[in-house]
């Protein structure tokens, strides 16, 4: 397709990556985001070697790495703090770190700046009220009273996707895993040069984000309808770590600010059928939401964006591009969703315990393959 007019619904990681990739194919891109504040919680995110490679392909690697902290290994610990393994991570871009930790706000800034520089228009506080696909294009009515017509529409609106509900009202809903994740930013200890992962029913990870900062994530059993009140949240996060290793308990003493704790029940989703209907297609968590155990949720969305842009650039019709895009992405995303969930179930007792050393090495081998 030559210079198509494209609407992207959702200005998160996947939507912004799609805007960058599509603008580089001479598409004219508008991104809408329902949140007028475009808020992003302030903890970090792991980005593995395949994401470093993807950022290079998007042309944003230097600004991405400037905002991040690189590391080239993952260290696995027993619950008591005994180091079990140090797993080297093979970089996929010569001379660059294999993996990084980066603040989510910094990542959004890097992607948003690049999307705007490429010519994407980003509209905040706007939703798509109706979409009418007549086979030649999609007419969209927006919540601010405006209208637009687009050659195709991309839904990148996350695990609770309204676009998915509109396209596939009978599709499975996100499934609760029996687990939740807690996150908190902390001071980074001297000499910490790797992602550190602690095995056990209470999973703990420490991720470098900068010279003096890291974030801790803690996975805990949770009830399906559990919601955490903000008051007392820091104390409850610390309580989950009372039987952790001495090093983790010492770090937990600095978890003191309720407002800085980020808590989220964990759900998964994999859409096995089509990812598109007519001229409207989905990407990222809208079709393959994963738990964070392998650190690949955002990575899969970024790869989706690159593959979708590639297929649109060479296909005769959007439907041909959408089918080819799904075919390239389904099994890789399935692997991440199912392998991450297996670790989750091992921690909650719903399945066998998974060796994090083996799972990490296998994941690195899989995602290093071309997208």
Q: Residue 72 contacts by C-beta under 8 Å, 6 or more apart in sequence?
A: 88, 89, 91, 97, 98, 99, 193, 194
Domain positions in the chain: 5-70+98-174+268-354
**206 DSSP β-pair partners:** 196, 216
From the centroid of its chain, how far is CA 227? 22
Q: Residue 119 pairs with which residues in a beta bridge?
A: none
What fold, for 5-70+98-174+268-354? FAD/NAD(P)-binding domain (3.50.50)
Measured in residues, the chain has a length of 371
Q: How far is 27 from 20, CA to CA, in rounded Å? A: 10
Could you tell me the sign of the dihedral formed by the alpha carbons of 184, 190, 192, 198, in that order? negative
The pLDDT value given to residue 224: 77
CA gap 211, 208 in Å, rounded: 8
pLDDT at res. 356: 83
Mean pLDDT by 10 residues, the chain (371 residues): 92 98 97 95 92 98 97 94 92 96 96 98 98 97 98 98 96 95 95 92 93 94 83 97 96 97 96 97 98 95 98 96 98 98 94 90 94 93
CA dist., res. 202 & res. 199, Å (int): 7
């Amino acid at each position: 397709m030559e210079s198509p007019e494209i609407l992207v619904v959702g200005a998160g990681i996947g939507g912004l990556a799609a805007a960058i990739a599509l603008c580089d194919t001479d598409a004219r891109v508008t991104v809408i985001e329902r949140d007028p504040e475009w808020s992003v919680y302030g903890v970090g995110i792991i980005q593995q070697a395949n994401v470093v490679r993807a950022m290079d392909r998007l042309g944003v690697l230097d600004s991405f790495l400037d905002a991040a902290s690189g590391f080239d290994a993952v260290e696995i610990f027993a619950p008591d703090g005994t180091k079990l393994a140090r797993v080297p991570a093979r970089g996929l871009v010569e001379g660059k770190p294999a993996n990084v930790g980066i603040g989510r706000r910094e990542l959004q800034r890097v992607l948003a700046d690049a999307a705007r520089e490429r010519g994407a228009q980003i509209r905040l506080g706007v939703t798509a009220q109706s979409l009418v696909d007549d086979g030649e294009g999609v007419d969209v009515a927006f919540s601010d009273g405006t209208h637009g017509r687009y050659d195709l529409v991309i839904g990148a609106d996350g695990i609770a996707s309204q676009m998915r509900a509109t396209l596939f009202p009978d599709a499975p809903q996100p499934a609760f895993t029996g687990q939740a994740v807690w996150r908190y930013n902390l001071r980074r200890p001297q000499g910490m040069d790797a992602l550190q992962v602690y095995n056990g029913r209470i999973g703990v990870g420490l991720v470098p984000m900068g010279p003096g900062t890291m974030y801790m994530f803690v996975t805990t059993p949770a009830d399906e309808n559990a919601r955490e009140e903000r008051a007392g949240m820091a104390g409850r996060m610390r309580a989950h770590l009372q039987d952790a290793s001495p090093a983790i308990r010492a770090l937990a003493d600095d978890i003191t600010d309720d407002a800085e704790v980020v808590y989220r029940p964990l759900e998964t989703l994999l859409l096995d059928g089509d990812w598109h209907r007519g001229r409207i297609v989905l990407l990222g968590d809208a079709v393959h939401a994963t738990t964070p155990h392998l650190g690949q949720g955002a990575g899969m969305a970024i790869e989706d964006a690159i593959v979708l842009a590639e297929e649109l650039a060479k296909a005769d019709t959007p439907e041909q591009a959408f089918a080819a895009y799904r075919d390239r992405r389904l099994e890789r995303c399935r692997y991440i969703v199912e392998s991450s969930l297996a670790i989750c179930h091992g921690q909650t007792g719903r399945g066998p315990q998974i060796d994090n050393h083996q799972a990490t090495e296998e994941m690195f081998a899989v995602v290093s393959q071309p997208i």
